[in-house]
Amino acid sequence: MSIYAEQPVGATTDENGVMTPAMPATDPLVDRMRPFGTTIFAEMSALAARTGAVNLGQGFPDTDGPPEMLDAAVAALRAGRNQYPPGPGIPELRGAVAAHQRRFWGVEYDPDGEVLITAGATEAIAAAILALCEPGDEVVCFEPYYDSYAACVALAHATRRPVTLRPDDNGRYGFDHEALRAAFSPRTRVVLLNSPHNPTGKVFGREELTLIAELCKEYNAVAVTDEVYEHLVYSDASGPHVPLATLPGMRARTLRISSAGKTFSCTGWKIGWISGPRPLVSAVLRVKQFLTFVNGAPFQPAVAVALGLSDEYYDTFRVELQAKRDLLSAGLVEAGFSVLPPEGTYFVTADITALGGRDGVEFCLALPERCGVVAVPTQVFYDDADAGRHIVRFAFCKRPEVLAEAVERIRRL
Ligand code: PMP
Ligand code: GLN
């Protein structure tokens, strides 16, 4: 009988008799990450690739960003800007981020100490939550929420307190103000606000923001604002984009996040930034330095160039996206969807009930076969999945001919 008779199944022994134990048969992933599975964006893009469907799932543009930015990236790469940039980001990008916020939103940040460059907005969100939340702290957010929010809150051993956005009779998403008030408690550490909002396309109005600001102050919470769609608010929106940090008393307690991916159609570059008062930014930096340390050396100077582009760039970008929104929305209406009109972002959500759909996941999994289009079920972005079970999201950040093809296919439904 082997002296290794008791070794666990799957263990190996080398020629010297040294045993390597088997991995346990159970899932090695920590408990708190198990509910998350694979992100819906990766899953739906894989489905599109597998089926050859038009991918209106994951939100990425199918054209390149401004040529000035692309040229600057090539030049930076050729000029040898390929080694670690400084931890907080290169000074010219931090300066450009500060100048951009002054120019568009009238809010001042010192590029030295109040602005930090991150690996996309995603890292900024993760580093902010990990930097601010003790185990058991609570994070108030609105659902449906961007999927990384829930995962980051879980990584921090914090608890999410979602407030549900629901469409009214006109398809405009709103929330119960008393429910928001009830979501706050003495354990509230962070309010995580995304406006313009993915996936609903909602742009939070001044009155709503004022209530959020009052509650942040009353409960001494930090606001972390995800404003990656800051330049995508359409002309028929009920109001402009208002950064929460511009409301009275809020600059001192807000970390403002944005990134280049959406505004400059370069989602794969992963250049983002976070701005706020020095102590908050310093706390984020102390976590961020151990996540990625730094990223995207040659892309940083290129994004600095992009941020400084003329108003014409930003206006044209928005006008073109609005036309795309209208093209896709009209096609969806024609096909029988109840469209919930978005005021901003890359996305339009639609109710599938009138088409006989009851479950968005089932509907989206069947859609490539039914008509050759991929969409994303929004129920995966809710704690209260029933609130979004009948709602799916389409991305319209695609070339007009791609949208026209998608509309043609959707008509087959
Ligand atoms: N927040 C929201 C609301 C988003 O839609 C996205 C996707 N672009 C991100 C954050 C992530 O941004 P980034 O790609 O810059 O990490
Ligand atoms: N933000 C994009 C979306 O909502 C995708 C981001 C991702 O793939 N993680 O579709």
pLDDT at 20: 74
Ligand closest to 59 (CA) is 2
Looking at CATH, the fold of the domain delimited by 67-309 is given as Aspartate Aminotransferase; domain 2 (3.40.640)
325 close to 310: Cβ distance less than 8 angstroms? no
Mean pLDDT over residues 116-129, rounded? Answer: 98
Can you give the pTM of this predicted structure? 0.94
Ligand 2 pocket test, pick from 36, 40, 41 with the greatest ligand atom count within 8 Å of Cβ, gives 41
- Taking CB atoms and a 6 Å cutoff, what residues make up the pocket around ligand 2? 39, 41, 58-59, 198
Nearest residue by C-alpha to atom 3 in ligand 1 = 198
Q: How confident is the model at residue 137 (pLDDT cuts 50, 70, 90)?
A: very high
d(CA 277, CA 257): 13
Q: How far is CA 15 from CA 1, 9, 12, 18, 389, in A?
A: 18, 18, 10, 7, 57
Asked whether the predicted pLDDT for residue 287 surpasses 60, the reply is yes
Pocket test for ligand 2, best of 43, 56, 58 (most atoms within 8 A of CB): 58
Segments making up each domain of the chain, as ranges = 33-64+312-410, 67-309
- Bridge partners (DSSP) listed for residue 162: 141
pLDDT for 3 beyond 70: no
Q: Measured in angstroms, how far is the CA atom of residue 227 from the centroid of ligand 1?
A: 9
67-78 helix and 299-307 helix, angle to the nearest 10 degrees? 150
CA–centroid distance, 11 to ligand 1, in Å, is 42
Atom of ligand 2 nearest to the CA of 45: 8
- Specify burial of residue 356 (Cβ count, 10 A radius: 0-12, 13-18, 19+): exposed
CATH architecture, range 33-64+312-410: Alpha-Beta Complex (3.90)
For residue 271, give the ligand nearest its CA: 1
Q: Is the per-residue pLDDT at 21 higher than 80?
A: no
Instruction: Give me ligand 2 centre to Cα 21, in Å.
Output: 39
pLDDT digits (tens, 9 = 90+) for 161-178: 999 999 999 999 999 999
pLDDT of res. 22:
66
Q: What is the distance, to the nearest Å, from the Cα of residue 378 to the centroid of all Cα atoms in its chain?
A: 14
Give the model confidence (pLDDT) of 50-79 as tens digits.
999 999 999 999 999 999 999 999 999 999
For residue 271, the ligand 1 atom closest to its alpha carbon is: 15
b/e sequence 180-206, b meaning 16+ C-beta within 10 Å: beebbeebbbbbbbbbbbbbbbbbbbe
Ligand 2 closest atom vs CA 42: 8
Output 38 or 340, whichever has higher pLDDT: 340
Which residue lies with its CA nearest to atom 9 of ligand 2? 41
Q: Whose alpha carbon is nearest atom 4 of ligand 2?
A: 59
